[in-house]
A and B are shown apart, each in its own frame.
Chain A
Amino acid sequence: MTKEHEQVDEGRRSFLGTAAGVAAVSVAPGVILHTVTAAPRSEAVTDAVRWGMLIDTAKCADGCTACVTACERENGLDLQVKPEGEAAKKWDMQRSVWIRKVKLEDNLTRRVTNLPMLCQHCEHPPCVDVCPTGASFKRADGIVMVDRHTCIGCRYCMMACPYKARSFIHQAVAEKLTRAPRGKGCVESCNLCVHRRDNGEASTACVDACASAGHHAMVFGDLKDPQSAVSKALAGAASRQIRADLDLNTGVRYSGI
């Protein structure tokens, strides 16, 4: 209030500036180290990380299919073409779907819930147990996927999956993406955008799309890192597994249902 206080204290200012500089310099290496390097992986994956997701169904918007569209574009599913001569309705039942929107209504309360359903990346996957050749496998970092070089197309994993997450490719694939090879006669499902994982990108196509659409219902990250966004989100809100009674310890969890 007095003129004395209005005068700038140069000494204090320079001290604060130096302190800020020192703090920034000491913190900077840590910041740089935590930035994900967008480079192809050169070491084998380990179980030091486990990829997972939390889906907040309260934020999942009715009628929105951003995650589905993004997944289709990312993995070449939008390049699927109905075979000539096939009925459209039958084709709908045979085309591959890796993630889908589901709308539920509680029988008693009539409360409506929207959520995306995809491969749950279980810790004890039934699909991996039943595959005769071991093509359906769980990678060290928790991603459950199909090795299409070994898959014989028997579809037993599709019988076994409690979430009906897998699709069988019913016809020859004309257009393929370099980043997501797929072809006739094998089984496939969501692989948490494994090509993105292996090339150092931070998250999956569906999660990014949900964020871009403004809903932020899906959070992706490393379940084994307590500081990751997904771990913090899981710690923050009550969540559960779908079909928790099967005790599969899924990597995808849902809150609000």
Chain B
Amino acid sequence: MANAVVRGLLAVAGLAWALGALAGPARETFVAPQSKAAGLTSCVEPTDFMRRNHMELIKHERHIVVHQGIRDSKYSLAGCVECHVAYGPDKKPVSVHAEGQFCSRCHEYAAVDVNCFGCHSTVPNAAQGNAALSGDYGPDMAQIQGKGAGVGGDTP
């Protein structure tokens, strides 16, 4: 009798847990509140797609940029940085890879080493004020957003 009661309670608890998970309230967002991305509905692709596949996009992108010279893709890493970098109270960009910033918040939890920023800039260079001879060749945000929502429709 007691056994059945216990099992019944466990079943109810389990069901509630599952339903609660399925109901899926607004997921925690890792986007930094002061970044450009905070003001956008989604990334260059829907958020779910980006969460699972951004590494594939990056891997493909790096090949076509380096070996084929194709630079106008919306998956540009510089584009990610430009959009996701947070700005401090002094309006200066904070390294997107610093502790607690956009990349680290997931990657530290997932314990996946992000190797990119050993070589790639963690802030958009225009803000760094490097007196350059030529342009920064940062991504054209209007062009990127203009290219549309991407695969499978938007997800809030």
Does chain B have a CB within 8 A of A141?
A: yes
Instruction: Return the CB mask of B20-57 against A: 1 if under 8 Å, else 0.
Output: 00000000000000000000000000000000000000
Question: Considering the chains assembled together, what is the distance between the CA atoms of A198 and B135 in angstroms?
Answer: 12
Q: Are B68 and A40 in contact (CB under 8 A)?
A: no
Mask of A42-60 contacts with B, CB within 8 angstroms, 1/0: 1111000000000000000
A100 at interface (Cβ–Cβ under 8 A)?
Answer: no
Complex-state Cα separation, A40 to B71, whole angstroms: 5
Contact check, B125 vs A177: say whether CB atoms are below 8 A apart: yes
Bin chain B's interface residue count.
20 to 34
- Residues of A with C-beta under 8 A to B72: 39-42
Complex Cα spacing A43 to B64, Å: 10
Q: A240 on the interface (CB 8 Å rule)?
A: no
A232 at the interface (CB under 8 A from B): no
Q: Please state if B137 and A178 are interface contacts (CB–CB under 8 Å).
A: yes
Q: Which of A39, A178, A199 contacts B121 (CB 8 A)?
A: A178
Of B4-12, B100-108, B126-134, B148-156, the one touching chain A: B126-134
A87 to B95, CA, bound (A): 30
Closest Cβ of chain B to A57, distance in Å, is: 24
- Given the complex, which residues of B lie within 8 Å of A197, measured CB to CB? 69
Q: Are A184 and B134 also in contact (CB < 8 A) when A41-B72, A178-B124, A199-B71 are?
A: no
Are B69's CB and A179's CB within 8 A? no
- Quick check: A141 and B69 within 8 Å, CB to CB? yes
The answer to whether the Cβ of B118 comes within 8 Å of any Cβ in the partner chain is yes
Cβ–Cβ < 8 Å partners of A178 in chain B: 78, 81, 120-121, 124-125, 136-138
Task: Report if A139 contacts B (CB, 8 A).
Answer: yes
Docked-complex contact A183 and B70, CB < 8 angstroms: no
- Cross-interface CB contact of A184 among B65, B78, B118, B136, cutoff 8 Å: B118
State which residues 29-81 of A face B: CB under 8 Å: 39-45, 70, 73-74, 79
Closest to A177 in B: B125
Question: What mask results when residues 207 to 238 of chain A are scored 1 for a CB within 8 Å of chain B, else 0?
Answer: 01100000000000000000000000000000
With A148-B119, A177-B130 already in contact, the answer to whether A44 and B71 are too (CB < 8 A) is no
Question: Is A181's CB within 8 Å of the partner chain B?
Answer: yes
CB of A41 within 8 A of CB of B125, answer no
Give the chain A neighbours of B132 by CB distance below 8 A: 73-74, 177, 179
24 contacts between A and B (CB under 8 A): A39-B72, A40-B137, A42-B71, A43-B70, A73-B132, A79-B130, A149-B62, A172-B118, A173-B118, A175-B128, A177-B125, A177-B132, A178-B81, A178-B124, A178-B136, A179-B132, A183-B118, A185-B118, A194-B69, A198-B69, A198-B71, A199-B135, A205-B133, A205-B134
Q: Ordered nearest first, which 8 A-B pairs have the shortest CB separation?
A: A183-B119, A44-B68, A40-B71, A183-B118, A40-B72, A181-B119, A178-B125, A198-B69
